[in-house]
Each structure stands twice: as C-alpha cells, then as structure tokens.
Structure 1
Amino acid sequence: MLRALDIRDMLIIDRLELTFQPGLNVLTGETGAGKSILLDSLGFVLGWRGRAELVRTGAAQGEVVAEFDLPEGHPAHDILSEAGLPGGEELILRRVNTAEGRKTAWVNDRRCSGEVLRALSETLIELHGQHDDRGLLNPRGHRAMLDEFASVEGQLAEVRQAWVAMGKARKTVDQTKAALDAVRAEEEFLRHAVAELDQLDPQPGEDEELDMRRRTMQGAEKIRDDVVRAFHLLGGDGAEGAMGDALRWLEGVSAEAAGQLEAPIMALGRAMLELGEAQGGVEHCLNALEFNPAELEMVEERLFAIRALARKYDVLADELGGFAEGLRVKLNALDAGDVNLAEQMAALSAAEAHYDTYAQRLTDTRYQSAGQLDQAVMAELAPLKMERAVFETQITPGDAGPEGRDVVAFTVATNPGAPAGPLNKIASGGELSRFLLALKVCLTGDDSDHTMIFDEIDRGVGGATADAVGRRLAALADGGQVLVVTHSPQVAAQGAHHWRVQKQVEDGMTLSTVVPLSKTERVDEIARMVAGDTITKEARAAARSLLKA
C-alpha cells in the first residue's frame, strides 16, 4: 500500500508531500493543473519509462521518494531478497534525476538498478487507464488474468513440472543422438584402431624395457672379445696361476724368513679372494652377453612396431594401452547406444504424454472459467449502461510452453451483431474505461497487495453511469487502496479521501500543488466539477446530495 509520496523539483512541482490512506483516494482539479505530473513522478520512482525531461526548470536535480507498507508475505519481499536489498515492513524507494539526465535509485537507502525498481513496481502498483499498456490492455497478460480468476495455481504447477521433465527428457535424447552420430562418423577408424592396438597389446614400460634389451644386445658383440681375453688373463693361465705360484713359493720359505713374509703371504691370500670375485663377475657378464641373434631381431621388430603406433596416434608409447581403452569405451557406447536411445525415446514419449494430459486439463479449466468470466463481466456491464455490449474471452491453440499451449485474448463487441475485436481497437474512450473497470472488478477478488491507480477511467461517462463507475471503484478500494484521477463529480463523491490538484503562480513561475480537502472544501470542489468556474447554490446542493448518496 502506498503510504506517502514526496516530490521535489519535478516539472512544475517544487516541493510536494502527500500522505495516502487505505480506501478510495480521489485526485481532482482543472485540466492542466498537474494531475498527470503526479503519475509521471510516481512512475519515475518506480522505474517506469516516461518523459525524458522531468527536472524543474532552474533546478539542479529532481527527486521522488515513495513509501510503501509491506505486509508479511508480500511478493516484493522475494524481489528484495533476490537482489540482496534490506527488507522489512516498510519499503522506501528514492530516485534522483539530474538536469543532465543521469538517474540514480535507492531502495531502503541501498543503491539499486532501474530493473529492480521495475520488478518491485509489478508487485506494488497497477495502473489502469485508456493508455494503459501494462495492464488489462496488454494481450500478453490476459492468460495470467484468466488463470488468476480460475485459481489454477495447482494445475499450473503440474504443467510447469511436466514441461521441465519433458525438456530434460528431450535434452537427453538429443545429447545421445549427437553422441551416437559423432561416434558413427568415426566408427570405421575406431574398429580398425582397436583391432590394431589389441593385436599388438603394448604394455606400460615395455618401450623402455625393449630399448634397454636392444641396446644391450647391440653392444654385446663389440665388448665380448675383450671380456673373454680379460677372463682368460684372470684365470689359471694368467693372473690366478701366477699369484698361486708366488704364494706357494713364499709359503715354502716363510719359516726361514723369520716372519718377514707373513704379511705378504696374507696380502696375497686376500688378493686371491678379490681375484676370484673378479673372475665371477666377468663370467656372469659373459653369460649375459650370450644372445640369440634372432632375439635381437624380434626385440627390434616389436620396439619399432610400438613406436610406430605411438607416432600414428600421436600419443606416448606408455599411453597406448590407455588410448586403446578409451577407443574401446566409445565402441561399447556405440554398440549399446541404440538400446539406450530406444529407452530414452520411450521416456520422452511418456513425458510428452504426461505434459499433454496436464496441459489439456488446464485448457479445459480455462475454457470453463472463460465462460464464467464472460458472464461476470457482462453482469458488471449492465449497470455501466453497456448492456448491449458483448465481452468474450477467446482461447486459441498456441505453442506449447511451461504454462500450457493456450493463447488467451479478451475481445469485445460494442453492439449486437458487430464483429468482436481487441479491447483497445473496438471500444471508444468511454466504453473502454467501463470495460476495464468491469474487468478489474471481476478479476481483483480478495487481492489487496497492489495499489490500483485509475487515470481518468471515467472519461466520457456521466450521470448514473458515472455514479456506477464511482461505486465500483469504491468497492475495489474496500480492504485495499485505490487512487483515481477523475473529472467526474459522481466518482469524486465516492472517495474516502480527496485531494485537489491546482496551479499557482509564484514570483512569475507556475507551480503545481496538491491540497487535502476538508468536508466543506470537498463540497466546493465537487460543486465546481458540477457547475464549472462559477459555483452556484444549486451546484453546492448537488454536491452535498452526491456526498450523502
């Protein structure tokens, strides 16, 4: 509910503070007094796109502050939370426009974007009038209005869930088809590569092992002769025999050398042991150097084959096994893909049938509720002196979506036999106002979250029709808040709170102001609306009669 509006230096307003109340708030005044400026200023602070130049001439900047009461559970709380803005029972919107055109906005003293303001405005204000493109005249919103009238929240939730499930199933099928198509494009390559790799069956570390064996065998022929000669020199015909003879000679004369040969004899013994170890090592080497020339050929052939495949598939030799496994997985997926795709297609068909069931159920409910809405609107049109008009909610098939597959449009025929058409194309100004009011009365229900604003919705009507318009506006305001800009005395008389918008000249500058009216002042203002500039006794009497009615 709009609690207060503070406007500074906007168009012809220098400073204006308004405090609004629950119920029907009426704003009246002569043409050109500035009533539209109030709506422009309110639209500015709500982020609506409007006039480009709003700052009062000579001012550095214009500013509008709007205060709203937010009861618990109001949808604006969700928007504040999502935007990371502070909430509470009070919502204060502030927006500044500099003379250069730069705009800055705050929500509860926290900077925000115009997008956030517009999102909040959708939950705070409803503007209705002959040039309303945000509400009832916008066909894109007619389906939502019918759904609200029909109270199909539960069915909508079912359709949305079925739509999401169907979308997921279709995405799964599309992904599987794309994957299978990609694999089939390289199926011949995959099967050839896997067969080739499986036949060779390279093992991790095998390349390094084969290379080492190859190098060993290649070097064996070069070093074997020298190793054999060294082995012979170390044996009995060489170093071992000479050292053995020396040891025996020294041991034979050791007793006669008075102990001087004991150390050399012991050293020779140790040398003999070391020589034996050397002989064993050389012998082991000779054994290792023994190889079959055919084995070298086999080792080289396998090593070259592994390295050739590694180059062919551009991987490291040790990674050939893992590469083959990856190709094998693709082949397995291809072989099993048709089975999986068939299962996924069946799941998609089930999801589509599920969606069709819920969407058709929602369509049936919409058709039924459309008839009820048409009857309710027609009942409202009779007191508004439009009993010959025909209102019809048309439902036509449309593209499937998360809210069903119906296109909803409100159409009217102002006279029997005349073709029906869109509200804003068929009805005249006064007729359009009454259609909008009848629709709003039927669609509002118990919803009091929004502040409804009607901008000269009574234009073109008078007398009993204007009185009927006023009474319906008052009924809409019961338990909520309605602001109406009006030139009709019958409508003004229905207001619970009344303000007069007027212009005055101060220091050669025209300014607009808004004055709250007392009971006596309301009589004079309504009398002016009845009689014009010259207020007569008869006009005052008519005004009093209207206020008492």
Structure 2
Amino acid sequence: MLRALEIRDMLIIERLDLGFKPGLNVLTGETGAGKSILLDSLGFVLGWRGRAELVRSGAKQGEVTAVFDLTEGHAALAVLEDAGLPCSGELILRRVNTADGRKTGWVNDRRVSGDVLRRLSATLVELHGQHDDRGLLDPKGHCAILDSYADNETQRNAVRKAWSKVGKAKRELTAARTALDEVRAEEEFLRHSVAELTKLGPEPGEEAELDQRRRQMQSAEKIRDDIAQASTSLGYDGAEGAMSSALRWLEGASEKADGRLDAPINALTRAMAELDEASNGVADCLEGLEFNPADLEDTEERLFALRGLARKHNILADDLAGLAVDLSGRLAALDAGEAQMGDLERALREAEDGYDKAAGRLTENRRKAALRLDKAVAGELAPLKMERAVFVTEITETNGGGEGRDAVCFSVATNPGSPAGALNKIASGGELSRFLLALKVCLSEERNDGVTMIFDEIDRGVGGATANAVGRRLKALSDGGQVLVVTHSPQVAALGGQHFRVAKHVTKGVTTSDVMSLDAGERESEIARMLAGDTVTQEARAAARALLAG
C-alpha cells in the first residue's frame, strides 16, 4: 500500500507531502490543475519511462520519494531479496532527476538502477486508464490475466516443464544426428584406419624400444670383429697363456731365489685374476652381440611401419594406441548410431505427447475460465449502462511454447450486430473506461496481493447513474486494499474515504500546483463545485450533501 508521496521541484510542484490511506483515495481539481503531474511523479520514482523534462524551471534537481507498506509475503520482498536489498515491512523509494537529465534511484537508501525500480513497481502499483498500454489494454498480457483469473498456475508449470523436456529431447536428437552425420562422412576412413591400426597393434613406448634395439644390432656389426680379436688376444693363445707360462717359470725358480721372487709372483697372480675378469667381460659382450640378421630386418620393418603410420595421422608414434581406441569408439558409435537415433526419436515423441496433453489441459481450463469471465463481465456491464455491449475472451491456437498453444485477446462489440474487435481498437473513451472497470472488478474479486490500483480519469465521458455505478465499483475494489482515482465525477468523489484537491496558483508570474487533503466541509464545497462549476449554488451544495450521505 502507498503510504506517503513526497515531491520536490517537479514540473510545477515546488514542495508537496501527501499521506495516503487504505481504501478509496480520490483526487479532484479543475482541468489543468496538475493531477496528471502527481501520476507523472509517482511513475518517475517507480522507474516508468515518461516525460523527458521533469525538473521544475529554475531548480537544480527534482526529487520524489514514495513510501510503501508491505504485507507479509508481498511480491516486492522477493524482488528485494533477488536484488540483494534490505527487506522489511517498509519500502522507501527515492529518485532524483538533475536539470541536465541524469537520474539516480535508491531503495531503502541503497542505490539501484531504473530496472530494479521497474521490477518493484510491477508488484506495487497498477495503472489503469484510457491510455494504459501497460495493463489491461495490452493484448500481450491477456493470456497471463486469464490464467490468473482461472488459477492456472499448476497447469502452466506443468506445460513449462513439458515444453522444457521437448526442447531437451530435440537438442539431444539434433546433436546425435549431427554427430552421426559427421561419423558417416568419414566411415570409409574410420574402417580403413581402425583395420590398419588393429593389424599393427601399436603400444605406448614401443618406438623408443625398437629404436634402441635397432641401434644395438647396427653397432654390433661394426664392433664385433674388434671385440673378438681382443678376446683372442686375452685368451690362452694370447696374454693368458703367456702369463701362465711366466708364472709357472717363476714359481719353479722361486725356491732358489731366496724370496726375491715372492712379490713378482704375487703381483702376477693378481694380474691373472684381473685378466680372467676382463676375459669374462669381453666374452659376455660377444655373447650379447650375437643376433640373427633377420631380427634386425624385422625390427627395422616394424619401426618404420610405426613411424609411417604416425606421420600419416600427424601424431607421435606413442599416441597411435590412443588413436586406435578413439577411432574404434567412433566406429562403434556409428554402428550403434541407428539404434541410438531410434531411442532419441522415441523419447522426443514421448515428450511431445506429454506436452500435447499438458497444453490441452491448460487450453481446456482457459476456455472454461473465458466463458466464466465473459459472463462475469457482462454482469458488470449492465449497471454501467452497457447492457447491449458484448465482451468476448477470444482464444486462438498458436505454435506451441512454454505458455501453451493459446493466444488470448479481450475483444468487444459495443452494439448488437457491430463487428467485434480488440478492446483498445473498438471502444470509445467512455466505453473503454467502463469496459476496463468491469473487467478489473471481475479480475479482482478474489485478489488481495497488496497492489495499489490507480485509475486515471476512468470515469471520463459518463455521468449520472452510470458515474455512480463506476464509483461504487471503484469503492468495492478498494475494500481490503487501496485505490487511487483521478476523477472529474462528483458521484465518484463522494465515495472516497480520503479526498485530495489539486489546485494551480500563479504568484508573481510563476505557476505552481499544490494538493490539499479535504475535511468534511471542504469535501462538500469541492463536490458542489464539481456539480455546479464556477458558481456554487445552494442547490449544488444540497446535491453534494446528498451524494456524501450516500
């Protein structure tokens, strides 16, 4: 509920502090007094896009502050939480407009963007009038309005979930088809490559191992003869034989050398041991160098095959084994692709069937609710002197989507036999106002969401009993809530729980507008003025008293 509105230096308002109450709040005043400026100022602090130049002439900046009381569970609390703003029962909106056009907004003393203000405004205020293209006159919102009237939230959620499943199934099927088409395009390459890799059977690290073995065999051919000659030189026919003979001769002579040969004999014995070790090492080397020439040929053949296949696929030889696994998997996917496609196509059909059923239930609910709404609006039109008018909620089939398969449009025919058309195209100003009011009354019968409803001259073009019927419906809408109405109708003004008069003054050539909250006597005078014009007669005062008495 809007509790207070403070305006500073906006258009022709210098300073204004207003306090609003629950129920029906009426604003009256002569044409051009500035009633629309109040709505412009409220729209400004709510982030609505309106006039470009709002700052009062000569002022550095204009400022508007609006204070709302929020009930528990109010929709604005979710917006505040989502924006990371403080949440409480009091909501203070403030917005400043400098003379050079810069606009800055705050919510509960936290700076915010105009988008946050607009999101909040959608939960705080509804504006209805002859030029209201944001609410009931906008066909884009008619489907949501009908769903709200029909309490279709459960069915709408079911349709959204079903539509999401259809989208997911389509994406998975499309991705599978694309992948399968890509694999099919290289099927011949895959089958040849997999066969080639399978036949070769490469293993990680195999290239280095083969290369080392090849180098060893190549080296063995070059050095084996030298090593064999060395082995002979170290053997019995060479150094070993000579040293053995020398040792034998020295040992035979040592008994007669008085110990002088002991050291040479010991040294020679040690040398014989070292020579034996050397001979054994050379023999082991020769044995290791033994190979079959066919082994070298086989090793080189496999090594060259690995390297050739690696060059063909532009990868390292060690990566051939991984490539074989990858290509085999893609080939397996190709072979299993048709079966997978069948599963995905079946899943899509099931998702579409589920969506068709959910959308069908939603359409059925909408059509039933449309009939109830049409009947309810017709009942409201009769007291508004439009008993011959026809209101029809048209539902046409559209392409499927997250909100179902229905396009909803509120259409009217103002007279029997006249063609029906969109609400904002057919009705005249006064008729449109009454259509909007009747529709709003029907849509708000079970509503109590804390939204302040504003009606801007919705009673224009009507008077007498019709104006009284308009006023009583506005009064009914305000019960348990809050309605602000800008009106020229004394019948409507008389039903207000709180009455404001907007007046314009010219002082020293400067025009300003102010608003005064009227007491009982002032209300009588204002309503008498509305009835009689500039000259208020006793008869007008009596009529005003009668209207106020109900």
Q: TM-score, normalised by structure 1?
A: 0.98
- Identify the residue that residue 354 of structure 1 maps to in structure 2: 354
Q: Aligned-pair distance for 1:255?
A: 3.5
Q: Aligned-pair distance for 1:206?
A: 1.0
- Identify the residue that residue 194 of structure 2 maps to in structure 1: 194
* Residues 100-124 of structure 1: per-residue CA shift (max 9 Å, x gap): 1111111111111111111111111
Instruction: Report the AA paired with residue 121 of structure 2.
Output: S
SS at match of 1:63: strand
Instruction: Report the AA paired with residue 310 of structure 1.
Output: A
Instruction: Report the AA paired with residue 185 of structure 1.
Output: A
Give aligned pairs, total: 549
- Identify the residue that residue 433 of structure 2 maps to in structure 1: 433
Instruction: Report the AA paired with residue 130 of structure 1.
Output: Q
Q: Aligned-pair distance for 1:187?
A: 1.2
Cα distance between partner residues in 2 of 1:195 and 1:392: 71
Q: Aligned-pair distance for 1:205?
A: 1.2
**Superposition map of 1:436-455 within 5 A:** 436-448=436-448, 449-455=450-456
**Superposition map of 1:493-512 within 5 A:** 493-512=494-513
**Superposition map of 1:256-267 within 5 A:** 256-267=256-267
- Identify the residue that residue 166 of structure 1 maps to in structure 2: 166
**Superposition map of 1:221-232 within 5 A:** 221-232=221-232
SS at match of 1:111: strand
Correspondence 1:382 to 2:382: yes
Deviates more, 1:503-512 or 1:139-148: 503-512
* Residues 48-77 of structure 1: per-residue CA shift (max 9 Å, x gap): 110011111111111111111111111111
**Superposition map of 1:340-351 within 5 A:** 340-351=340-351
**Superposition map of 1:93-492 within 5 A:** 93-448=93-448, 449-492=450-493
- Identify the residue that residue 537 of structure 2 maps to in structure 1: 536
* Residues 102-160 of structure 1: per-residue CA shift (max 9 Å, x gap): 11111111111111111111111100000000100000111111111111122112111
Q: Aligned-pair distance for 1:302?
A: 0.9
Instruction: Report the AA paired with residue 467 of structure 2.
Output: A
Cα distance between partner residues in 2 of 1:271 and 1:319: 53
Instruction: Report the AA paired with residue 20 of structure 2.
Output: F
Cα distance between partner residues in 1 of 2:177 and 2:46: 48
Deviates more, 1:497-506 or 1:309-318: 497-506
Q: Aligned-pair distance for 1:406?
A: 0.4
* Residues 380-420 of structure 1: per-residue CA shift (max 9 Å, x gap): 00000001111111110012111210011000000000000
- Identify the residue that residue 73 of structure 1 maps to in structure 2: 73
Q: Aligned-pair distance for 1:447?
A: 2.0
Q: Aligned-pair distance for 1:208?
A: 0.6
Instruction: Report the AA paired with residue 152 of structure 1.
Output: N
Cα distance between partner residues in 2 of 1:95 and 1:256: 129
Q: Aligned-pair distance for 1:268?
A: 2.1
Q: Aligned-pair distance for 1:38?
A: 0.7
Q: Aligned-pair distance for 1:34?
A: 0.8
Instruction: Report the AA paired with residue 173 of structure 2.
Output: V
Cα distance between partner residues in 2 of 1:77 and 1:190: 60
Percent sequence identity over aligned pairs = 68
Q: Aligned-pair distance for 1:270?
A: 2.2
**Superposition map of 1:19-30 within 5 A:** 19-30=19-30
* Residues 2-60 of structure 1: per-residue CA shift (max 9 Å, x gap): 11111111111111111111000001111111111111111111111100111111111
Provide structure 1 residue ranges, at least 5 long, that are not aligned to the other structure: none
Instruction: Report the AA paired with residue 168 of structure 2.
Output: K
* Counterparts in 2 of 1:260 and 1:534: CA distance versus 1, 3 Å: farther
Q: Aligned-pair distance for 1:507?
A: 4.1
Deviates more, 1:525-534 or 1:152-161: 152-161
Q: Aligned-pair distance for 1:260?
A: 3.8
* Counterparts in 2 of 1:245 and 1:121: CA distance versus 1, 3 Å: same
* Residues 447-485 of structure 1: per-residue CA shift (max 9 Å, x gap): 232100000000000000000000000000000000000
SS at match of 1:104: strand
Cα distance between partner residues in 2 of 1:63 and 1:99: 11
* Counterparts in 2 of 1:260 and 1:92: CA distance versus 1, 3 Å: farther
Q: TM-score, normalised by structure 2?
A: 0.98
Cα distance between partner residues in 2 of 1:125 and 1:183: 58
SS at match of 1:401: coil
Cα distance between partner residues in 2 of 1:271 and 1:499: 129
Q: Aligned-pair distance for 1:235?
A: 0.7
Cα distance between partner residues in 2 of 1:369 and 1:503: 47
Cα distance between partner residues in 2 of 1:258 and 1:484: 145
Cα distance between partner residues in 2 of 1:182 and 1:72: 57
Provide structure 2 residue ranges, at least 5 long, that are not aligned to the other structure: none
Cα distance between partner residues in 1 of 2:33 and 2:95: 24
Cα distance between partner residues in 1 of 2:487 and 2:176: 63
Instruction: Report the AA paired with residue 164 of structure 1.
Output: S
